[in-house]
Amino acid sequence: MTEPPGLRWGDPAKAMTLSPAMRELVSQALGVTPDKVRPPVAPEAIELPEPALDAAAREALTAIVGAEHVRGDREARLAHTRGMSTPDLLRLRAGEAADAPDLVVAPASHDEVVALLRECAARRIAVVPHGGRTSVVGGLQPAREGFNGVVALDLRRLDRVLQIDQVSRTATLEPGLSGPEAEAVLVEHGLTLGHFPQSFEQATIGGFAAARSSGQASAGYGRFDELVVGVRLATPRGAVELGRAPRSAAGPDLRQLVLGSEGAFGVITAVTVAVRAAPEVRRYEGWRLPSFTEGAAVLRRLAQDGPLPTVLRLSDEAETALNLARPDEIGAGEGAGGCLAIVGYEGAADEVEQRRDSVTAILRDAGATFEEGAGEAWAEGRFRAPYLRDALLDAGVLVETLETATFWSNLADLYDSVGAALRDSLTGQGTPPVVLCHISHLYPSGASLYFTVAAAQADDPVAQWREAKAAASDAIEAAGGTITHHHGVGVDHKPWYAREIGPLGVEVLRAVKATLDPDGILNPGVLVP
């Protein structure tokens, strides 16, 4: 049982340090002073609660998966404590791990998962499914009250490719496969999933499905939930298997109840996804547009009338000036003004060239200018931003992200409202922020907005961010946006999710939970208001 990310993101060998330019920016723009820098406590100094599970419970779970796949040691428990949101990390960095699981159990099959869930239900033990531990919305923070203990269900032994159907171009994958592992197997068969979220290197297939993940090439390949044609769910009451055909009129599509369910309705043990031929060519370019408003209009034109690139994203003026599209060169922008769009093409060589020519003509007609090297730099650094966050936290900066989505006609109002709420809240707390934004996922009818926020850390940075996030969430609700486009609900978004779906919608969710998980052991407190 190898360990997932610990107190920092990903591979320690890829850890980033701040450049001199970024250190100067932190000092001047955010007012971070040396007294605000709080080094994280050593992992061995983090206090974990005494395990609550008794010996009989541990023996019963061990009988299902084997002693070597049950761990209660400090390292395993700490490595399965919470997710990777900034508040999650700040609490760990401060030495607080009160909600660490009592035990980590790693099944190797669907049948073992079902058996574990039944045993835990009989013993009133809460179960939290774990894959890559990349949740940024409190999706791994179970409510302990009323339970005899908490088990982290580590799914990474369920890491097989069960079937590749070349005729139908589908692949059936187990949930513990990481993004790179799944992609490597598919490439061997000349295929690709085309799903590359920022969490790609750490997240798993099960997590992609459970949180309705959306990858950076969503314009070309679609969101992960759009790729899913079949799913198998393990519950304390048995299995649910869905997806006999790509589409069906046999009642409501119950696959949609599983997708986005965040471990609250069951544990996903297999996912069948539509795949495509691996691209012959991948080409990424940068284009500078005069303004965010004008750039958004161009993106809307491409989304509605085509041709549509595989990757299409637009940074606002502030994000462009900071050079956030190039994490390794952060703070080293040339100050040329305007907004940077990243435009990517993947596919057969002739098709890519034809599509690129048509898109280029539209961009030039809108006044865009080609940005040499920007596309390649983005592609090279697109998975580096989480490492940059660690370096900024080390330097006394509060940095976090949030996202939303709306229809095109409402995009500008939503952008203004959320940005103003973040600036007002953090400025009111004495820590004026830098607020950045980009459009990264788009549809004919609308698009997502992805905000990055940085400010000097207050004395209590967790409370500082919660206040700012609540203000932004209220602004999203008031402006008619959705509380989340692809991060999920978890614990953090539940109050606003409840308002978004309304009282009757909440009753529906609770009814599904009661049917599939009558004892309420599955990720309690997450998703369901």
**Each residue's pLDDT tens digit, 310-346:** 999 999 999 999 876 565 555 555 556 899 999 999 9
Rounded Cα gap, residues 367 and 468, in angstroms: 36
Q: Which two tokens stand for residue 456?
A: 């000097």
Count other Cβ atoms within 10 Å, centred on residue 247. Answer: 8
pLDDT score for 29: 86
- At residue 26, the pLDDT reads 84
Amino acid at 133: R
DSSP 435: E
pLDDT of residue 493: 98
Q: Does 3 have pLDDT greater than 50?
A: no
Residues, the chain: 529
Give SS3 for 498.
Answer: helix
Residue 264 structure tokens: 């609250």
Domain at 42-154: CATH architecture: 2-Layer Sandwich (3.30)
What is the rounded distance in angstroms from the CA atom of residue 248 to the CA atom of residue 217?
27
The predicted structure's pLDDT at residue 33: 82
**What phi and psi, each to the nearest 5 degrees, are found at residue 371?**
-110, 100
Buried b / exposed e over 344-362, threshold 16 CB at 10 Å, is: bbbbeeeebeebbeebeee
Residue 102 DSSP class: S
The CB density around residue 232, as the number of other CB atoms within 10 Å, is: 23
Residue 312 tokens read as: 């299409």
* 118 pLDDT tier (thresholds 50, 70, 90): very high
pLDDT of residue 193: 97
Q: How far apart are CA 22 and CA 419, in angstroms?
A: 22
CATH class label, 281-383? alpha beta
| Inter-residue contact 228 to 173 (CB < 8 Å) | no
For residue 517 the two structure tokens come to 């998980």
Structure confidence at residue 121 (pLDDT): 98
Residue whose tokens read 């610990």: 6
* Alpha-carbon Rg for the chain in angstroms: 23
**267-306: buried (b, 16+ CB within 10 Å) or exposed (e) per residue?**
bbbbbbbbbbebbeeebbbbbbbeebeebbebbbebbeee
Helices (H), 198-249: 205-210, 218-221, 224-227
Cα distance between residue 446 and residue 338, in whole Å: 22
User: For residue 4, what pLDDT is reported?
Assistant: 46
Peptide bond into 236 cis (omega under 30): no
Burial class of residue 15 in the structure, from the number of CB atoms within 10 Å of its CB (0-12 exposed, 13-18 middle, 19+ buried):
middle
SS3 string of 22-78?
A: HHHHHHHHHCCCHHHCCCCCCHHHCECCCCCCCHHHHHHHHHHHCHHHEECCHHHHH
Whether the per-residue pLDDT at 278 is higher than 50: the answer is yes
Beta bridge partners of residue 403, listed in sequence order: 450
Give CA separation, 106 vs 64, 79, 486, in Å: 10, 14, 27
For the chain, percent of residues with pLDDT exceeding 90: 88
Pairwise CA distance, residues 448 & 408, whole Å = 9
What global pTM score does this model have?
0.95
Please provide the average confidence, as pLDDT, over all residues in the chain: 94
**Packing angle of the helix pair 86-93, 461-479 (nearest 10 deg):** 170
Side chain identity, residue 295: G
Quick: pLDDT tens for 410-457: 999 999 999 999 999 999 999 999 999 999 999 999 999 999 999 999
- pLDDT, average across residues 179-184: 97
Cα–Cα distance measured from residue 158 to residue 106, given in angstroms and rounded to the nearest whole number? 9
Contacts of 420 (CB under 8 A, 6+ apart): 475
Q: Which amino acid is at 349?
A: A
Cα–Cα distance between 468 and 490 in angstroms, integer?
Answer: 18
Asked if the model's pLDDT at residue 5 lies above 60, the reply is no
- Where are the domains positioned within the chain? 42-154, 161-277, 281-383
In this prediction, residue 1 has a pLDDT band, given cuts at 50, 70 and 90, of very low
Instruction: Using the predicted structure, report yes or no on whether residue 155 has a pLDDT greater than 90.
Output: yes
For the domain made up of 161-277, give the CATH fold. Answer: 3.30.465
Return the pLDDT at 7.
Answer: 79
Give residue-wise pLDDT tens across range 49-99.
Answer: 999 999 999 999 999 999 999 999 999 999 999 999 999 999 999 999 999
pLDDT tens-digit readout, 227-272: 999 999 999 999 999 999 999 999 999 999 999 999 999 999 999 9
Q: How far apart are CA 392 and CA 404, in angstroms?
A: 24
Work out the average pLDDT over 475-482. Answer: 98
d(CA 140, CA 155): 14
Q: What is the pLDDT of residue 325?
A: 58
**What is the rounded distance in angstroms from the CA atom of residue 378 to the CA atom of residue 324?**
9
